[in-house]
Amino acid sequence: MNRRLLLPLAAAALAAATVATSVATTAAGATTATTSSAAAAAAAPYCGIRWGSTAKNAAVTATAPLTGVRAGRHPCFDRLVFDLRGKANGFRVSYVGAVTEDGSGRPVPLRGGARLLVVVVAPDHDDAYRMTYVPKNRREVVAVTGWTTFRQVAYAGSFEGQTSFGLGVRARLPFRVFTLAGPGAGSRIVVDVAHRW
């Protein structure tokens, strides 16, 4: 074959190979970038939440009577709030197989795929044994029907200076527990359960 014909053919073949390599490198880079973005998104926690689902406890340094229970909906979590008459800070909250009534041990039925036992170290009465908290409906302490995470809040009784509740949730999801001062001389124990992992 004529050498003058071979040179243009060789140059064309080299150019085609260079374009193919460039396209393959670009495609590989795009795949790597897409994979990295997907991995980063998967690793990023929902709403920045890093609470976990293990038991949360706070040592008791002060107690005060329980006066009310209420709930609220937030963009990333559902919230349960316990109002206390005075400074109080002791609690134990954990996922359990079943919630039982304080004293009697009778099971407390709860809707949802998982159950949180919430114990606030606060009696439902004052020092003179006058009741400070009596739920209107022990099985539906607050109305949470149709909420993202909460399914039911039930009263499980008050015994030896602590009051227990069963919180039925959609699934075993991350949660946190903390105390807040106020309003006034009172305080609050707050339980937040994330909408998802």
Are 4 and 72 part of one and the same domain? Answer: no
Range of the domain at 20: 1-44
The 3 state secondary structure assigned to the chain is CCHHHHHHHHHHHHHHHHHHHHHHHHHHHHHHHHHHHHHHHHHCCHHHCCCCCCCEEECCCCCCCEEEEEEEECCCEEEEEEEECCCCCCEEEEEECCCECCCCCCECCCCCCEEEEEEECCCCECCCCCECCCCCCCCCCCCCCCCCCEEEEEEEEEECCEEEEEEEECCCCCEEEEEEECCCCCEEEEEEEECCC
Radius of gyration in angstroms for the set of CA atoms belonging to the chain, rounded to a whole number: 29
Distance in angstroms (rounded) separating the CA atoms of residues 38 and 175: 26
Are 71 and 36 part of one and the same domain? Answer: no
Q: What was the pLDDT predicted at 43?
A: 65
Beta-bridge mates of residue 154: 166
Are 160 and 71 part of one and the same domain? Answer: yes
Q: Is residue 165 within 8 Å of residue 118, measured between CB atoms?
A: yes
Are 138 and 167 part of one and the same domain? Answer: yes
Q: Looking at residue 120, which CATH number applies to its domain? A: 2.60.40.3500
Distance in angstroms (rounded) separating the CA atoms of residues 167 and 118: 7
Does this model's pTM top 0.85?
Answer: no
Are 39 and 83 part of one and the same domain? Answer: no
Report yes or no on 128 lying in a domain: yes
Report yes or no on 50 lying in a domain: no
Report yes or no on 49 lying in a domain: no
Are 19 and 112 part of one and the same domain? Answer: no
Report yes or no on 148 lying in a domain: yes
Are 15 and 108 part of one and the same domain? Answer: no
Q: What was the pLDDT predicted at 41?
A: 52
> Which amino acid does the sequence have at 32?
T
Q: What was the pLDDT predicted at 87?
A: 92
Looking from the CA of 73 toward its CB, the CA atoms found within 13 Å total 10
Number of domains the chain contains: 2
Report yes or no on 130 lying in a domain: yes
Q: What was the pLDDT predicted at 101?
A: 94
Are 188 and 117 part of one and the same domain? Answer: yes
Are 125 and 78 part of one and the same domain? Answer: yes
Burial class (CB in 10 A: 0-12, 13-18, 19+), 28: exposed
Which portions of the chain are predicted below pLDDT 70?
1-43
Q: Report the first-to-last Cα separation within the chain, whole angstroms.
A: 69
Report yes or no on 145 lying in a domain: yes
Report yes or no on 87 lying in a domain: yes
Q: What was the pLDDT predicted at 176?
A: 98
Report yes or no on 79 lying in a domain: yes
Q: What was the pLDDT predicted at 42?
A: 58
